[in-house]
Amino acid sequence: MEDLVSRETLISRYFPERESEIRSYVDLLVGDGVLKGLIGPREGERIWERHIFNSLPVSALIPQGASVIDIGSGAGLPGIPLALARPDISLTLIEPLQRRVDFLIEACAHLPITVLRGRAQDFKIRAEVVTARAVAPFEKLKAMSWHLLDKKGYLLAIKGHTAPAEASLVVGAQVHEIQLEGLELGRVISLQKGA
């Protein structure tokens, strides 16, 4: 019961304007997301902690009102939770696989989120921030997405314990350990263009 109370508190804290939307998205993830193989069958039990709340620490590094491109969006992580927690940002999801794009289009049907099919390398759009989670090692991620950033834009990658090693391979990359209230520590590698 304690976990449920704290989860409810966290949902209210981080999605104050979009509680119903984040709950609908989670229902879709644990339903169609599992059926379509976008998340594993056992992930449903830990969806909030492992996927939704895990996507939020990166939000601390996104400037107010920023345009954001989330590459390799898969099931919409971290993009959809970010957009729902931060209604001030404008978000575009890029995903190459059609079955995932179909899921994203359904998940974003009533949200102000753009969904594009393709590889990051194929687009000529730009944003102030590019995010990614579980897409590629940071060095490769930079090569795939650098052209998507505005002149002073930021590449932000959610990483685990490999963050320091991955960041050490890219000049100027920094590791941020972000502790949002009530959430597990999040690690994000950042790199600013033109810095």
Q: Which long-range contacts (CB under 8 A, 24 or more apart) does 37-46 make?
A: 38/74, 38/75, 38/100, 38/103, 39/75
Q: Residue 165 belongs to what H/E stretch?
A: helix 163-167
Q: What are phi and psi of 63, to 5 degrees?
A: -65, 155
Range 107-123 average pLDDT: 96
Q: What is the CA radius of gyration of the chain?
A: 16
* Mean pLDDT, residues 79-86: 97
Q: CA 70 to CA 120: how far, in whole Å?
A: 9
Please say if the pLDDT value at position 3 is more than 80. Answer: no
CATH top class, domain 54-192 = alpha beta
Q: Model pTM?
A: 0.94
Could you tell me whether strands 67-71 and 127-133 are parallel, antiparallel, or unpaired per DSSP bridges?
A: parallel
- Supply the mean pLDDT for the chain: 94
Q: What percent of the chain has pLDDT over 90?
A: 88
Span 169-173, mean pLDDT? Answer: 97
